Structure 1
Amino acid sequence: MKVLFVYPDFLATRTKPGSNQFEITKGGWYSEGLASISAVLKEEDQQTSLLHLTEPAGKEDFRQRLAEEKPDIIAFTVRTSAFPYVREYLKWAREFDPSLLAVLGGVHATIAPWDCIEAEGADIVCVGEGEGPMVDLCEALAKKRKFGRIPNFLVKEGRRVVANPPRKLIYPLDSLPLPDFELFDFSQLVASQTKTAVVIVSRGCPYSCGYCCNHKIREVYPDPEHYTRFRSPKNTMLYLKKLLKFYPWVSYVRFIDNILGIEKGWLAQFTKLYQKEVNLPFACDHRADLATPEFLKLLKDAGCNFIYFGVESGDENLRKSVLSRFMTDREIKRAFRECRQLGIKTLAFNIVGLPFETPAKVLKTVKLNAQINPNRMVPNIFTPYPYTKMYEISLKEGFISGPIADYRDEVFLDQPQFSKKEVLFFAYFFQLLVRLYQRMARYPKFERTLDRIVLSPLLPRTFLTTLMKFWLKFVGESKVVVRKRLPSFYLFLRDRIFS
């Protein structure tokens, strides 16, 4: 059997509310899930290929690729924001070949499987991990057997849908083959432009943050105690060595695990082996309340020189009661301070437009960032993804009127105390405001004056936001050009200008 994976890897945002015009942010990112499923299928002598869509596809180009590949199965990985495009691609695939079997998988398929199975042209939805189900499906088709009772699958059978129970989680992760890195053209990936490899050696997260779907995915499985799993340190080295064998030009590793090294024993062994067998600088994600001096020292010794932290909100009560992130301001400040002392650079993720947030509360987030002084900051506008805790809060409080069918807007919540134009202003001016408050820290009188200006209803927010959008678009396009043509210069500038 031949499986064609379709990976819509781009972000579309409406240019203005109600518009059918979209600003497209091109992708170009590695997917561990697809590489893993491909490796498992190839072990069973199945064929795989990838249609990596870094921007929306045109109908003729899409049909041409199907004609070239001649797949038996077309398998879409579905993100919530990309679902409108997947709906369209399903129709094109059905028009091209009515007998082509269409499978939907990924995060959105797992948390909203019934939405996916109702899409025109969808035959199967995979709920949860796809390795085992896809092997079973290929085997059934090859032997001309029925496939309606494969665990993890929702299957259309005429006018009804058969919902099969989930299978157990893949545990331990070492039982999986190493990913099929060759599925991707690494030379075309965004990270490759700076000789960086994107790596993930774990699955799951033990936390249940209010904006995240991890708790919903965890509930899918009959053995949720195994939801958070890591490859062993030894197996992780095999993974990295295989990657470096195929792509010896890699000089930097970006681990995108939710948290790299939750357990001290794993991290200690990883550090020892990584120093000896890989010895490349790397970046990773961590949590401020877990990033103790001991953990940070192990990461530093292994070669970590950049850590990404989720700060999210500077209002401690909002952070705990709404985001379910039970860390204190003190812990956040300590983690950033100790990273700085160890020479580890930091990035702070932040969210603007949270349920119950006000301009004054988001200003707390700005000021907390000014105090912790990260090397880089990312302000995201809150998106109420389906079935998350904060989606349910938004629905209950009337901040959204009902289920969201299209996630391509910029701002979703309607809150009387925090208007959409205020949300956009703080999101687009976030980094500039942080730098201004850093400069005002020694002058409380001027800081209070800045407070009054920023919070004033007379401030022309829409006009200022429009100007900043143009500026940030120019900066973003400049980054792309510099990263492609002068990657070393880009890395030099990144933390000085582009942050």
Structure 2
Amino acid sequence: MRIALINPPASRRYVQARDEPLQLEYLAASVRDRADVWLVDAFGLDLSTAETLDVLAETKPDVVGVSLNFAASSRPSLDILRGVREALPEATTLLGGNTATFRARDLCLDPAVDAVVVGEADLTFPEIVDALAVGSPLDGVPGLCIERQGRAVTTKDRPLVENLDALPFPARDLLPLGETYTRSVLTARGCSYGCIYCSATAFWRRRTRIRSVDGILAEVATLVRDKAAYFSFADDCFTIRPERAMAVCDGLAAMGGETAWSCTGRIETISPELLERMAATGCRMIFFGVESGSPRILARLKRRYTPKRVEEVYAMCLAHGIVPSFSFIVGLPFEEPQDVAATFELIRRLEGVECGVHMLTPFPGTPIADKPNDFELTIAPHRAEDLDINTRSFIDTPFADRERTQQNFYDGMGLAMGTVRRKRRFLEHYRPRPGHEPVIA
């Protein structure tokens, strides 16, 4: 059996970095013992839909799986499967990923789609391959949404993987030009924070599952052996459990080597002790989703920190040689003009580092998309592929219509680009003593 797993192109390129398609590498590892598997990273290699179809025409796979994680890839994903249906009518076509999961009942009705994998695919995909190998219908495979007699039908529920250490390491060797990618290590799956603009909590069923420290370090060791100079911990929040993050750092220290790494963190979880340990083992960058500079809005978002604390974490990171980056959202529920002004003021104070400003966007599976009335939001009609945090607003709030939000976005991005060029003036008068937390004047 020949299998092609596709990371599709997007209507708009939302990131410039070339990160490995980690979930597809996991799936490739799960079936490589029973099939020939190709990974086609159309997004990472800037392949068009037509070029992706040319690759598939040459390889003639029996199974084509497309990872529809991001809404901006909705149209290209379907266009690829429609092209496969025309050129390779006997091939089995599959969709999976975050966006596919929350649009499964619509997507499975497209004639080009044989099945949509709902949620985590690590257990479901090998069972699909086994069923196809013996000619069994997919109706008996749990975790799918399929079309039957013109209706969307879901098969038996698929439980989450309980033991992440039981999964094989990602099949990085199957990724063409793999040496040109930033390597990623997933130390946990899930997010318990439940942010209103994010679907991760729903996708992972409000659970967080943690890999063992030994399992994490064993995978990092393979990257060190491959002489990877840099990698990222790709969790939704690497520092969600600070004691576990410290244990990983202790293991990295014992391992030795010169590999640098980055991660995503939460302001609430950061301490000088944690940053010291992270910096000593190669951490060079931490991304924080701060979202607002208004104490009132942060409280509405159930954030357990203040703008003052954001500044303190900013200073602590830089003092330890770690570059922080921050993201903010405009158009948030209940956000008034003075709240936007407070966000812009915080950005001004985060000198010399990258601050991203984005528009609140109703992605499938997010609380704001599912229950907009709960947040006093009016969402304009749209297609999934049009949703983008940096292009166009689709949300009216009581205090800002779409046009106002877009203008706030433009103003915020201009401010952020100016701020990143400014010298970090606080360093002129702040020199930390070991073990002392910085205080911002």
Return the TM-score normalized by structure 1: 0.76
Local SS of the residue matching 1:156:
strand
Find the counterpart in structure 1 of residue 434 from structure 2.
none
Q: Does residue 142 of structure 2 align to residue 151 of structure 1?
A: yes
CA contact (8 A) 1:394 1:413 kept: no
Q: Report the counterpart of residue 366 of structure 1 in structure 2.
A: 344
| 1:45 counterpart residue number | 34
Question: Who is 1:231 aligned against?
Answer: 211
Q: Which string of whole-angstrom CA distances, capped at 9 and with x for unpartnered residues, describes residues 425-484 of structure 1?
A: 432342543557999xx9xxxxxxxxxxxxxxxxxxxxxxxxxxxxxxxxxxxxxxxxxx
* Segment drifting more, 97-106 vs 364-373: 364-373
Q: Does 1:312 align with 2:286?
A: no
> Where does residue 266 of structure 2 map in the other structure?
287
Q: How does 1:445-456 map to 2 (within 5 A)?
A: none
Report the CA distance shift for 1:419/1:436 in structure 2 as closer, same or farther (over 3 A).
Answer: farther
Shift of 1:102: 0.7
Superposed counterparts of 1:288-437, under 5 Å: 288-321=267-300, 323-373=301-351, 375-392=353-370, 394=372, 397=376, 399-402=378-381, 404-408=383-387, 410-415=392-397, 417-430=399-412, 432-433=414-415, 435=418
Q: What amino acid sits opposite 2:4 in the alignment?
A: L
1:174 is paired with a residue whose SS is: helix
CA separation in 2, counterparts of 1:283 and 1:352?
26
Q: Distance in 1 between matches of 2:383 and 2:194?
A: 22
Aligned-partner SS, 1:289: helix
Provide the C-alpha distance between the structure 1 equivalents of 2:410 and 2:145, rounded to a whole number of angstroms. 41
In 2, Cα distance between equivalents of 1:302 and 1:137: 41
In 1, Cα distance between the equivalents of 2:332 and 2:382?
Answer: 17
1:204 and 1:125 mapped to 2: Cα distance?
Answer: 21
Distance 1:340 1:65, change over 3 A: closer
* CA shift digits 1:47-101 (9 cap, x unpaired): 2112221346244x34432222121111010022211222222211111122211
State the distance in 2 between where 1:242 and 1:372 align.
Answer: 36
1:174 corresponds, among 165, 177, 187, to 165
Task: Write out per-residue CA displacement over residues 166-206 of structure 1, whole angstroms, 9 at most, x where no aligned residue.
Answer: 222212211111110023234574xx4xxx43332221112
Change (3 A) 1:33 1:433: same
Which residue of structure 1 lines up, in the alignment, with residue 3 of structure 2? 3
- Matched residues in 1 for 2:367 and 2:131: separation? 38
Equivalent pair of 2:108/2:115 in contact (CA under 8 Å): yes
What value does the CA root-mean-square deviation take over the aligned residues? 2.8
Deviation at 1:393, TM superposition (A): 5.3
- CA drift at 1:8: 1.4
Amino acid across the alignment from 1:74: V
Q: Relative to 1, partners in 2 of residues 1:274 and 1:94: Cα closer, same or farther, differing over 3 Å?
A: same
The letter for the 1-side match of 2:38 is S
Among 100, 110, 121, the alignment partner of 2:101 is 110
Identity, in percent, stands at 25
**Aligned counterparts of 1:269 and 1:425: Cα–Cα separation in 2:** 45
Residues 135 and 241 (structure 1 numbering): CA distance in 2 closer, same or farther, change over 3 Å? Answer: same
Q: Is 1:256–2:234 an aligned residue pair?
A: yes
**Structure-2 change in CA distance of 1:25 and 1:205 (3 Å):** closer
Deviation at 1:395, TM superposition (A): 5.5
What is the CA-CA distance between 1:155 and the residue it aligns to?
2.3
Question: Secondary structure of the residue that 2:264 maps to in structure 1?
Answer: strand
> How far, CA to CA, are the matches of 2:419 and 2:125 in structure 1?
53
Contact 2:325 2:354 in 1 (8 A): yes
Q: Is the 8 A contact 1:35 1:180 kept in 2?
A: yes
Matching of residue 70 in structure 1 with residue 29 in structure 2: no
For residues 66 and 160 of structure 2, the distance between their equivalents in structure 1, rounded to whole angstroms, comes to 21
Aligned-partner residue type, residue 428 of structure 1: Y
Change in Cα spacing, 1:62 to 1:433, as seen in structure 2 (3 Å) is closer
Partner amino acid, structure 2, of 1:46: A
- The change in CA–CA distance for 1:67 and 1:401 in structure 2 (over 3 A counts) is closer
Q: 1:334-375 deviations in whole A, cap 9, x for unaligned?
A: 322322332322111111222333443222111112234362
For 1:386 and 1:367, locate their aligned partners in 2 and report how far apart those are by CA, in whole Å: 31
**Is the partner of 1:65 in helix, strand or coil?**
helix
Structure 1 spans left out of the alignment, 5+ residues: 14-23, 443-499
Deviation at 1:113, TM superposition (A): 1.4
Give the distance between the partners of 2:421 and 2:113, measured in 1 at CA: 52
Q: Residue 277 and residue 156 in structure 1: after superposition, are their counterparts in 2 closer, same or farther (change >3 A)?
A: same
- How far is the alpha carbon of 1:319 from its aligned partner? 2.7
More helix by share: 1
After superposition, the C-alpha distances for 1:306-341 in whole angstroms (9 at most, x for unaligned) are 2111111112222332x4434322332332232233
Is residue 395–residue 402 contact of structure 1 (8 Å, CA) maintained in 2? no
Deviation of 1:39 (Å): 0.5
Partner letter of residue 232 of structure 1?
Answer: S
CA gap 1:136/1:116 in 2 versus in 1, 3 angstroms: same
- SS of 1:428's equivalent in the other structure is helix
In structure 1, C-alpha distance between the alignment counterparts of 2:166 and 2:87, rounded to whole Å: 38
Secondary structure in 1 matching 2:76: helix
What is the alpha-carbon distance in structure 1 between the residues aligned to residue 58 and residue 256 of structure 2? Answer: 39
Aligned position for 2:222: 242
Matched ranges for 1:456-495 at <5 A? none
- Given that 2:198 and 2:366 are in contact with CA atoms closer than 8 Å, whether structure 1 keeps it comes out as yes
Contact 2:19 2:183 in 1 (8 A): no
